[in-house]
Amino acid sequence: MSVDDNTPVLRGCIKLPLDRDELVEVTSKAKDYAIMHGAAMRSKTSFSPDSLNFAPFVLVPSSFPRKEFEKAIALQPIINRLMHNVAHDEEFITTTLAETIKVDEFTANLFNIYRKVLAHGFTQRISLGMLRSDLMLESRCPELSPLLDSSAGGGDDDDVDADVEEQEQRRANDAKAKTKAKGKSAKVGGRTSSAYCCWKQVEINTIASGFGHLGPASKTIQSFVLRELGHAEKLQRMPKNDALACLCIGMVRAWDIYAKPQAVILFIIEDVSYNICDQRFHEFYIRENYPHIKVLRRTLTEVHREGKLGQHKELLLGSTEVAVIYFRAGYEPAHYPSQGEWDARYLMETSLAIKCPSIQYHLAGTKKVQQALAQPSVLERFINDPEEMKAVGKIFTGLYSLDDNEAGNANYEMALRTPEKFVLKPQREGGGNNVYGVDIPDALKRMSRVERSAWILMDLIHPPLSQGYMVRPGGDMPPQIVDMVSELGIFGVVIGDAEHIFHNYQAGHMLRTKLSTANEGGVAAGLGALDSPYLIDSDDEDGYF
Ligand code: ADP
Ligand code: MG
């Protein structure tokens, strides 16, 4: 991570450090609280299907500017629609990925399925998108960014279903988003500098967008901790988070559309699910609130063994018909150890089941497509409203092609000259695949010109720091105060076909926080920690250090 002495620090939600005895006491309680409320994972080092460790978490919530949070929430339905339109633009997907699939076998395999499905016609024209747009505050952008003025949020915690409907209605009636300019400054070590001026999208996920449960669970742990520490009044600044319910309702809506009472929802899972709570809670939510809908879990290998198509191309596992397929696996090469798993993916794509994601949605979520979308003229193709286009255009940081052409080669030279400004990304998901800063030249030089087109280059984002205690299984007790940076993910649900969108709503959020020195912050990968936003306002007297 690019952090230096000038990196601004967001003011914490409570005064630190805590008294040592108080810290030990509250940390021990919070660890147990986390396990007992399902903020947990299976251990990778001593795996047992019979036990859980608590998931790493930040003890008290990290600050996040309210205006930026609300802007991200308000923008999500627009991003949902954008991704839906991209997924249904055959020409755009085909042209954008043309160079990449020549050298990236995994993307080529996915594309091959797409091509075959296109050739035969889509059996199921409706897709279920459960997206997550990941973003970071940018503390170094040279100008102050206009922000989207939002009226999103509010509502009653108890009635999530009604909330989703209300949100869809509000958006449908919504006037164009207004924009207004605003600035922000922070005092760092006596100097005044910008704490952030906008946020930038890190990536958009269209497959296996996790933390629908762990997002809200983080808020639960941190609310408990704040209450234990005598700061119950702070809870009002932690925004409500119905991610689990909103995502599950998305699956239920898709199931309703399929309209076969006996058909089930199928979760496609890895051979070993370490992040088990973040899958089972979805299943349990559906079973508890919609007990007439059955949920099955299968690996791709099992689908290959058990799956077949019925008379009307319905997906059958034995004699059980599948209405909706929710992929929590299938996004990386290791999930396809043999041709059998690819055959299973193809079988599902050609079936009548509604898929999350369908193959076109999966391809729309590739880094290469994200890079192509960030080019100014491209958004026009997918967004009609000029205000919306402007608002979405602003969330992209510089994204550059490395294709073997004049522009790509110029970008390659730029990366060699100033690598510290960039992140180099392949067409992979799940963390741990990117190359950062000074490591970029060596990585690029090892590739042929053609191989480079499987990668994209992205401006490094410089989020402000926050300081707090990160609690991990086997970590220091009591934990030390560390410098951290956060990444906010906003969930969105969109259901529709090429002509219509039937449902489109923002579906809650998650915050992941990592040590400021770490490049990546995947919680399942062991680098990040669960967190949730503590919203601070520009007119807070003590908003920032
Ligand atoms: P993946 O699909 O593997 O999750 P991401 O694009 O989300 O790939 O990158 C993984 C992580 O790397 C992010 O969660 C973030 O912490 C870090 N990262 C990615 N892009 C940037 C960027 N442009 N600036 C700073 N950090 C980044
Ligand atoms: Mg990511």
Cα–Cα distance for residue pair 533/510, rounded to 1 Å: 8
Q: State pLDDT tens for residues 211-267.
A: 999 999 999 999 999 999 999 999 999 999 999 999 999 999 999 999 999 999 999
**Whether pLDDT at 442 is above 60:** yes
Residue 484, ligand 1, Cβ within 6 A = no
The encoded tokens of residue 508 equal 């809650």
Residue 137 near ligand 1, beta carbon < 6 Å = no
CB of 521 within 6 A of ligand 1: the answer is yes
pLDDT recorded at residue 150: 30
Residue with CA closest to ligand 1 atom 23 = 460
Q: Is the pLDDT of residue 124 over 90?
A: yes
How far apart (Å, rounded) are the C-alpha atoms in residues 216 and 274?
19
CB 495 within 8 A of CB 257: yes
Q: Which tokens go with 100?
A: 């990449």
CA dihedral 153, 496, 493, 181 (to 10 degrees): -50
Residue 521 binned pLDDT confidence (cut-offs 50, 70, 90): confident
Residue 277 phi/psi, 5° resolution?
Answer: -65, -35
**Contact criterion met (CB below 8 Å) for 392 and 75:** yes
What does the alpha-carbon distance between residue 167 and residue 157 come to, in Å, rounded to a whole number? Answer: 13
pLDDT of residue 144: 43
Residue 497, by phi and psi: left (phi above 0), alpha (psi -120 to 50) or beta? beta
Nearest CA to ligand 1 atom 12: 520
Q: Give distance in angstroms: CA of 521 to centre of ligand 1.
A: 8
What are the CA-CA distances from residue 303 to residues 182, 209, 261, 266, 375 (Å)?
53, 21, 22, 10, 39
Q: Whose CA is nearest to atom 10 of ligand 1?
A: 431
Q: Which of 486, 487, 489, 483 is nearest to 469 (CA)?
A: 483
**pLDDT on residue 233:** 97
The pLDDT of residue 430 is above 70: yes
Extract the tokens encoding 21: 């005895």
Among 91-100, 130-139, 140-149, 296-305, whose mean pLDDT is lowest? 140-149
Q: Would you tell me how many other CB atoms lie within 10 Å of the CB of residue 500?
A: 10
Q: Is 340 near ligand 1, meaning CB less than 6 Å away?
A: no
268: alpha, beta or left, given left = phi > 0 and alpha = psi -120 to 50? beta
Task: Express each pLDDT in 531-542 by its tens digit.
Answer: 999 999 976 655
> pLDDT tier at 2 (50, 70, 90 boundaries)?
low
Sign (positive/negative) of CA torsion 460, 456, 496, 257? negative
Residues 196-219: b if buried by 16+ CB within 10 A, e if exposed: bbbbbbbbbbbbbbbbbbbbbbbb
User: How does DSSP classify residue 38?
Assistant: T
Q: Confidence class of residue 431 from pLDDT cuts 50, 70 and 90?
A: confident
pLDDT of residue 520: 79
Say which residues have a Cβ less than 8 Å from residue 346's Cβ, sequence separation at least 6. Answer: 113, 116
Q: Which residue has the higher pLDDT, 343 or 172?
A: 343
Q: Which atom of ligand 1 is nearest the CA belonging to 422?
A: 23
Report the pLDDT value the prediction gives residue 146, as an integer from 0 to 100: 33
- Helix (H, G, I), strand (E, B), or coil: what is residue 106? helix
Residue 200 CA, closest ligand 1 atom number: 23
Is pLDDT above 60 for 191? Answer: no
Rounded Cα–Cα distance for residues 381 and 130 (Å): 22
pLDDT category at 523 given cuts 50, 70, 90 is confident
469 with 530: CB under 8 angstroms? Answer: no
- Cβ 488 vs Cβ 534: under 8 Å: no
| Predicted local confidence at residue 117, as pLDDT | 97
176 band by pLDDT with thresholds 50, 70 and 90 = very low
* 156 has a pLDDT exceeding 80: no
- E strand or H helix that includes residue 495: strand 481-496
- Rounded Cα–Cα distance for residues 122 and 110 (Å): 15
Contacts for 388-391: CB closer than 8 Å, 24+ residues apart? 388/78, 388/176, 388/177, 390/146, 390/179, 391/75, 391/78, 391/148, 391/177, 391/179
pLDDT for residue 313 = 98
Please say if the pLDDT value at position 147 is more than 80.
Answer: no
Amino acid at 212: G
Q: How far is the CA of 331 from the centre of ligand 2 (A)?
A: 12
Peptide bond into 357 cis (omega under 30): yes
Count helices and strands (H / E) in the chain.
16, 25
Rg (CA), the chain: 23
Please give the residue that has the higher pLDDT: either 184 or 282. Answer: 282
Contact, 276 vs 47, CB < 8 A?
no
Which residues, 6+ apart, have CB-to-CB distance to 78 below 8 Å?
A: 383, 388, 391, 392
Instruction: Choose one of 520, 523, 527, 531 to mutate for the ligand 1 pocket test, by most ligand atoms within 8 angstroms of C-beta.
Output: 520
Task: State pTM to two decimals.
Answer: 0.92
463 lines ligand 1 (CB under 6 A): no
Would the CB of 206 count as within 6 Å of ligand 1? no
Residue 505 Cα, ligand 1 centroid: separation in angstroms?
24
Residue 69 has a pLDDT of 97
The sign of the dihedral angle between the CA atoms of 381, 386, 390, 391 is negative
Q: Bigger pLDDT: 74 or 171?
A: 74
Q: What are the tens digits of pLDDT across the range 469-497?
A: 999 999 999 999 999 999 999 999 999 99
CB atoms within 10 A of CB 491: 28
Return the pLDDT at 142.
58
Nearest ligand 1 atom to alpha carbon 425:
6
Cα–Cα distance for residue pair 64/363, rounded to 1 Å: 31
What's the rounded Cα separation, in Å, for the pair 522 and 430?
8
Mean pLDDT across the chain: 90
Query: What is the Å distance from ligand 1's center to 6 Cα?
Result: 22
Mutate-to-test residue for ligand 1 from 136, 140, 203, highest number of ligand atoms within 8 A of CB: 203
What is the pLDDT at residue 7?
Answer: 85
pLDDT of 210: 97
**What six digits make up the tokens of 326?**
């929710």
Position with higher pLDDT, 338 vs 431 = 338
Q: Is the CB of 398 under 6 A from ligand 1?
A: no
**Separation CA 478–CA 215 (nearest Å):** 24
Q: Looking at the CA of 429, which ligand is closest?
A: 1
pLDDT tens digits for range 290-346: 999 999 999 999 999 999 999 999 999 999 999 999 999 999 999 999 999 999 999
- Nearest ligand 1 atom to the CA of 134 is 7
Q: Whose CA is nearest to atom 7 of ligand 1?
A: 203
Query: Is the beta carbon of 332 within 6 A of some atom in ligand 1?
Result: no
Is the pLDDT at 280 greater than 50? The verdict is: yes
> Does the C-beta of 177 come closer than 6 Å to ligand 1?
no
pLDDT value at position 278?
Answer: 98
pLDDT at 435 over 60: yes
Ligand nearest to the CA of 525: 1
Asked if residue 162 has pLDDT above 90, the reply is no
Q: Are 8 and 464 in contact (CB under 8 A)?
A: yes
The ligand whose atoms approach the alpha carbon of 430 most closely is: 1
How many CB atoms are located within 10 Å of the residue 51 CB?
Answer: 11
Query: Element (H or E) spanning 513, and its range?
Result: strand 501-515
